[in-house]
Amino acid sequence: MKKLAVLLFALTIISNLCSAQKASHTFALGDSTFLLDGKPLQLISGEMHCTRIPRAYWRQRMKMAKAMGLNSIGTYVFWNAQEPLEGKYDFTGNNDIAEFVRIAKEEGLWVVLRPSPYVCAEWEFGGYPWWLLKDKTLKVRSKDPKFLKYYHDYIMQLGKQLSPLLVTNGGNILMVQIENEYGSYSNDKEYLDINRKIFREGGFSGLLFTCDGPTQLPAGYLPGYLPAVNGLDDPKAVKALINKYHDGKGPYYIAEWYPGWFDSWGTPHAGSNADKDAKKLDEVLTAGISINLYMFHGGTTRDFMNGANMNKKDPYDPQTSSYDYDAPLDESGNPTAKFYKFREVIEKHLPAGEKLPAVPATNKAMAIPNINLVSRAALFSNAGVPVVSAKPLCFEDLNQGYGFVLYRTTLKNAASGLLKIKEMRDYATVYLNGKRISVLDRRFKQDSLQINNAKKGDVLDILVENNGRINYGPFLIDNRHGITEKVTLNDTELTGWKMYKFPFSTVNSFKYLANKAAGKLQPALYKGTFTLKAVGDTYLDLHGYGKGFVFLNGHNLGKYWNIGPQQTIYIPAGWLKKGINEIVVFDELKSGHTKISALNHPILNEVVKE
């Protein structure tokens, strides 16, 4: 009997623990507010993306969110990060979206999940995987059965990860967005309803919603489901718009409020007025409207995952790797003046007796010494085995998503005249017999150059970079990269191409030699090491370099470009090592680099160099 009693007692404890873990809430739409367990809940949310933040810092960023007064986190999920290759899913490391959500719960934060396969977010191809473009007939964001199958399969996998974390299942995900700014693209309500059905099949029960800009909302909302609004912060206008398309009632949710903006290459760093933003936040909260700050913390778009804007009037416009966004937390996660102003506003709206937690200490920052670059790998000397074709093949036909492709042909006849690359995407350096003769930039609609006195047998090289697929607007359907059509010289098509693939998923396979005289002005990788006794957040200074990217200890840190605004690169402490660190810099425009200078950056000024 005694053993039986002990067993029953143990089973009772286990049962109670399981019940506690599965304890669920109700989350519903009231006429004017959201209702959590039947009581009004005003969402004060901030956007963060797990893929843009080093995993080791997820919890610290959540604590900062709580300290500013946020009660929830808005987050996109990037399909092309979760399924980088067809049928190959990655929910590990920085792509572990479920763990990101669980940490938010542990830190007392609700989550508004935004897993629409299209996200925009200044992210490569708006979140769609590049491999969808391998089929020239497939049309993304449509009722194309081929697209819907890939979409369906992905959401089924995502549902396995995230549906257990819904608020109705004891988790902290309050509601789920099924499409994103669809009104900027089309107005097919049947397509929107297909989205809804796929999400339901994937296990996403509970509240579903859409969000659109104020002029897009009529086309982009799904009747019967909450229409949230982006970029509108006048309380009366927000309420009137949502009332119009939601049966005369709320709740009222600004899914994207912009107290900052993103940066594009070749433009000044974007920003906003913190005092004006704080005043507007106060007005919205006073009106009882729920809000999501886009962004609370932007982080960094690493690897080659930056997107680009383009529409019928504006030219191609790629974005920087830094996604600082002039947000309350800067790129390295430190609170800005905007953070403290917003904290003061939110504190005014706390229920009686509640206090905000103290602001966590900032991360340790440090400066690193000058880094000597002792070896060099010339790109053209590391070309490897080519793909041979009569006509040039685009990236997708070469089964390559990102990076560079070197297109090479030998001229069959002597010629002078106009060399034209039809539909070149996005940035090309052109060489004749190894000497650079031109740079072509899609931003300026450049696709041609004059060639003089070329001889039969001359070697023509065109190194083409994917500078970021378009992430917004109607050109989503036209996103293939490289040389997508043909090359002509004096209106005669050039044939007989060799294509060398440089995806730069790693830089370990290149043959490095001693870094001596620069030689010809050709693209190259420069390698060096440096030793640290301690680690901390820091930045690299790439002033004096041309255009390229940086690898540190195997991590692709992102891009730099001498046209600005980004010529420094943030390094999180977790990617540095005590002892020897290895760095590789690729530069396609300038040569002869021998060092990277230590950076005099504001967050490093009072830190002793290691």
Catalytic residue among 256, 331, 396, 465: 256
Rounded Cα distance, 175 and 204, in Å? 9
Q: Which residue has the tokens 């086309």?
A: 219
Write the DSSP assignment of 353-386 as a string of letters: T--PPPPPPPPPB-----EEEEEEEESGGG--SP
| Core vs surface per residue 262-292: b (16+ CB within 10 A) or e | bbbbeeeebebebeebbebbbebbeebbbbb
The yes-or-no answer on residue 99 being catalytic is no
- Give the SS3 label for residue 454: strand
Omega of the bond leading into 31 within 30 degrees of 0 (cis): no
330 half-sphere exposure, CB direction, 13 A CA radius: 14
A 10 A CB-CB count for 39 gives 10
Catalytic residue among 181, 331, 396, 465: 181
Task: Tell me the H-state helices in 301-357.
Answer: 337-348
User: Cβ distance 562 to 575 under 8 Å?
Assistant: no
Using only C-alpha atoms, the chain has a radius of gyration, in whole angstroms, of 26
Query: Going by C-beta distance under 8 Å and a sequence separation of 6 or more, which residues neighbour residue 332?
Result: 363, 365, 537, 570, 572, 603
Rounded Cα distance, 182 and 216, in Å? 8
User: Cβ distance 290 to 255 under 8 Å?
Assistant: no
Write the Ramachandran bin of 299: left for phi over 0, alpha for psi from -120 to 50, otherwise beta: left
Q: How far is CA 362 from CA 334, 355, 366, in A?
A: 6, 21, 12
Q: Tell me whether residue 122 is exposed, middle or buried, using C-beta atoms within 10 angstroms of its C-beta: 0 to 12, 13 to 18, 19 or more.
A: buried
First to last CA, the chain: 67
Rounded Cα distance, 148 and 152, in Å? 6
Helices (H) and strands (E) in the chain, counts: 10, 32
Rounded Cα distance, 466 and 487, in Å? 18
In this structure, are strands 371-378 and 415-425 parallel, antiparallel, or unpaired? unpaired
Q: Which of 316, 378, 322 is nearest to 559 (CA)?
A: 322
Give φ, ψ of 237 to 5 degrees.
-65, -40
Rounded Cα distance, 171 and 106, in Å? 10
Rounded Cα distance, 370 and 199, in Å? 51
The yes-or-no answer on residue 610 being catalytic is no
Q: How far is CA 177 from CA 31, 118, 196, 290, 579, in A?
A: 20, 11, 9, 15, 45
Omega of the bond leading into 129 within 30 degrees of 0 (cis): no
- Give the SS3 label for residue 401: coil
Residues noted as catalytic: 181, 256
